[in-house]
């Protein structure tokens, strides 16, 4: 691929100062018509295109919005980005997308990079490791609008777009109980993360509403990976009182559960029911197909982007930070369907 020229290359080609090239490109009156013509001809010949980010740094007029997500290869997060981009792009802004890969230090670096790039605003879903929020307070200190989506921290007074995780978990447990399950275990993510904390609350509330005792041995927290979920499921199955259903705080964890059941020749849903969370694309491909909670990530992303644009359009308007909650929907498939036909 042919390397694109920069402003220094154009200046050297013409034997003039870079400031002369810069002024000519901006149609500055101090530059003669003859010089401007020479500059524009050289720009075409050398395949030069201005660095928009560098120009924004010089002018202080950002036209980009930063997005920080835990993992870009997550189906949920990629759909959030899809929703964000559908709203942002028609408004004349571009996205700068960063991923923390679930590490606090990388998230901190992402924030610093976006601040240095003078973005117009930042949308963020925090990493599993994020507990301290000093770097996010730094965004606000630089007068850059900050909006959190999905995974948020409650200590900051900013606009947030979330899934109603408590309700989603509650409906999942209610469904399992309706299907005849009564010994329901929970595989949950990191306890300090907003979404997992609320899914735990929904689990507890549903058990209480149905007069089922909370069994501490059936609650396993801080499970992050499919492999961890597999190991946790084996522990549950080997216990003196194994559960007859397992609710997983993500579909990734549900895959580990299904793997463990398959290796032990335990039938789902006949012997153990399984419900995930997230409605990932592989839910229709597992054996059995996976019941899961749909989060509507595109709607979450679009809502976050719409609020960001409102803030950018009304910079002088002070508003009270709000939290918008997107209602989830249980997608019933084979893995939990003892008594009724799956909805999909």
Structure tokens at 261: 């059941």
Mapped onto helix, strand or coil, the DSSP state of residue 94 is: strand
| Beta pairing class for 323-326 and 159-163 | parallel
Confidence band for 313, pLDDT divided at 50, 70 and 90: confident
Mapped onto helix, strand or coil, the DSSP state of residue 178 is: helix
Q: Does residue 148 surpass a pLDDT of 70? A: yes
Q: How many CB atoms lie within 10 A of CB 281?
A: 11
Q: How many CB atoms lie within 10 A of CB 9?
A: 17
Confidence band for 27, pLDDT divided at 50, 70 and 90: confident
Tokens 């960063």 belong to: 98
Q: What is the CA radius of gyration of the chain?
A: 26
Beta pairing partners, 149 = 161
pLDDT at 61: 53
Tell which wins on pLDDT, 144 or 7. 144
pLDDT at 10: 85
Q: DSSP label at 7?
A: H
Q: Does residue 54 surpass a pLDDT of 60? A: no
Greatest Cα pair distance, the chain, in angstroms, is: 89
From CA 260, how far away is CA 228, in angstroms rounded?
A: 11
From CA 334, how far away is CA 312, in angstroms rounded?
A: 46
Confidence band for 52, pLDDT divided at 50, 70 and 90: low
The whole-angstrom distance between residue 206's C-alpha and the CA centroid of its chain comes to: 27
Give the chain's domains with CATH numbers.
Answer: 7-50 (1.10.260.40), 61-163+297-326 (3.40.50.2300), 165-295+330-336 (3.40.50.2300)
Structure tokens at 218: 């059936």
From CA 262, how far away is CA 268, in angstroms rounded?
A: 9
pLDDT at 51: 58
Q: Answer positive or negative: Cα dihedral of 243, 245, 246, 252.
A: positive
pLDDT at 240: 93
From CA 159, how far away is CA 319, in angstroms rounded?
A: 10
Contact 79, 298 (CB under 8 A): yes
Mapped onto helix, strand or coil, the DSSP state of residue 280 is: coil
pLDDT at 180: 96
Q: Does residue 342 surpass a pLDDT of 80? A: no
* Stretch among 32-36, 162-166, 324-328 having the lowest mean pLDDT: 32-36
What are the tens digits of pLDDT across the range 3-18?
A: 667 778 888 899 998 8
Confidence band for 58, pLDDT divided at 50, 70 and 90: very low
Contact 236, 220 (CB under 8 A): yes
Q: Does residue 343 surpass a pLDDT of 60? A: no
pLDDT at 316: 60
Q: Does residue 339 surpass a pLDDT of 90? A: no
pLDDT at 100: 97
| Average pLDDT of the chain, as a whole number | 90
Across 42-88, the runs of DSSP E, i.e. the strands, are 64-69
From CA 103, how far away is CA 70, in angstroms rounded?
A: 8
The stretch 244-261 carries a mean pLDDT of 98
What are the tens digits of pLDDT across the range 183-240?
A: 999 999 998 899 999 999 999 999 999 999 899 999 999 999 999 999 999 999 999 9
Contacts of 24 (CB under 8 A, 6+ apart): 31, 35, 36, 39, 40
Q: How many CB atoms lie within 10 A of CB 288?
A: 19
Mapped onto helix, strand or coil, the DSSP state of residue 241 is: coil
Q: Residue 248: which H helix or E strand, with range?
A: strand 245-248
Q: Does residue 26 surpass a pLDDT of 80? A: no
């Amino acid at each position: 691929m042919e390397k694109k020229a920069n402003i220094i290359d154009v200046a050297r080609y013409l034997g003039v100062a870079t400031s002369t090239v810069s002024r000519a490109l901006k149609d500055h009156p101090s530059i003669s018509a003859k010089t401007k013509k020479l500059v524009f001809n050289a720009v075409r010949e050398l395949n030069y295109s201005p660095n928009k980010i560098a120009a924004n740094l010089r002018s202080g007029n950002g036209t980009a919005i930063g997005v920080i997500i835990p993992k870009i290869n997550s189906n949920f997060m990629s759909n959030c980005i899809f929703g964000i981009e559908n709203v942002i792009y028609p408004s004349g802004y571009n996205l700068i997308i960063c991923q923390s890969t679930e590490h606090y230090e990388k998230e901190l670096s992402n924030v610093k990079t976006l601040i240095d790039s003078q973005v117009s605003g930042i949308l963020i879903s925090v990493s599993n490791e994020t507990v301290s929020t000093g770097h996010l307070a730094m965004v606000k200190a630089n007068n850059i609008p900050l909006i959190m989506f999905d995974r948020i921290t409650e200590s900051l007074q900013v606009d947030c777009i979330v899934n109603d995780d408590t309700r989603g978990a509650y409906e999942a447990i209610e469904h399992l109980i309706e299907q005849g399950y009564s010994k329901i275990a929970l595989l949950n993510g990191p306890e300090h993360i907003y979404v997992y904390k609320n899914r735990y609350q929904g689990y507890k509330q549903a058990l209480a509403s149905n007069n089922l005792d909370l069994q501490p041995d059936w609650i396993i927290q801080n499970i992050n990976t499919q492999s961890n979920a597999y190991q946790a499921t084996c522990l549950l199955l080997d216990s003196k009182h194994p559960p007859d259903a397992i609710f997983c705080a993500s579909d990734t964890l549900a895959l580990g559960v299904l793997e463990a059941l398959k290796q032990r020749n335990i039938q789902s849903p006949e012997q153990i029911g399984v419900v995930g969370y997230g409605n990932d694309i592989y839910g229709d491909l597992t054996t059995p197909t996976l019941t899961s909670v749909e989060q509507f990530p595109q709607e979450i992303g679009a809502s976050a982007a719409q609020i960001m644009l409102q803030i950018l359009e009304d910079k002088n308007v002070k508003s009270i930070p709000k939290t918008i909650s997107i209602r989830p929907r249980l997608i019933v498939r084979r893995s939990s369907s003892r008594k009724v036909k799956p909805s999909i």
